[in-house]
């Protein structure tokens, strides 16, 4: 059961990472999200008799800002930790000037 939970968390993290970077290059910070880094294990099973090999994986921490430029242009942008810490919800951010985008 723990393995299924770890796999679900890993998939959710991968999806979140896949969505980051799709936001606008400027706008108002609408929300913030930070995920701590964590370890999770998976295993690969093969052969007859079946032999399973455990694998320890590491998901690096992520920092993202939900940037709202307009009704049609908004989304999550992956940023560096220092950029994340420099902005609060409601602040205007312009990534064309701030190179803190990952």
Cis previous bond, 49, omega within 30: yes
pLDDT for the residue numbered 18: 45
pLDDT of residue 23: 77
Task: Tell which residue, 63, 71, 1, has the closest CA to residue 32.
Answer: 63
- Tokens for 95? 């990534």
Provide DSSP, 82-94. HHHHH--TT-EEE
Give, for all 102 residues of the chain, the pLDDT tens digit. 555 555 555 555 554 444 445 678 899 999 999 999 999 999 999 999 999 999 999 999 999 999 999 888 899 999 999 999 999 999 999 988 755 555
Pairing of strands 62-68, 74-79: antiparallel
């Amino acid at each position: 059961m723990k393995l299924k939970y770890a796999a679900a968390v890993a998939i959710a993290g991968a999806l979140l990472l896949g969505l980051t970077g799709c936001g606008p290059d400027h706008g108002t910070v609408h929300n913030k999200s930070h995920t701590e880094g964590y370890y999770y294990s998976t295993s690969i099973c093969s052969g007859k008799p079946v032999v399973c090999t455990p694998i320890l994986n590491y998901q690096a921490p992520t920092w993202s800002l939900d940037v709202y430029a307009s009704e049609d242009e908004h989304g999550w942008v992956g940023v560096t930790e220092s950029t994340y810490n420099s902005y609060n919800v409601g602040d205007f951010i312009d990534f064309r000037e701030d190179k803190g985008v990952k």
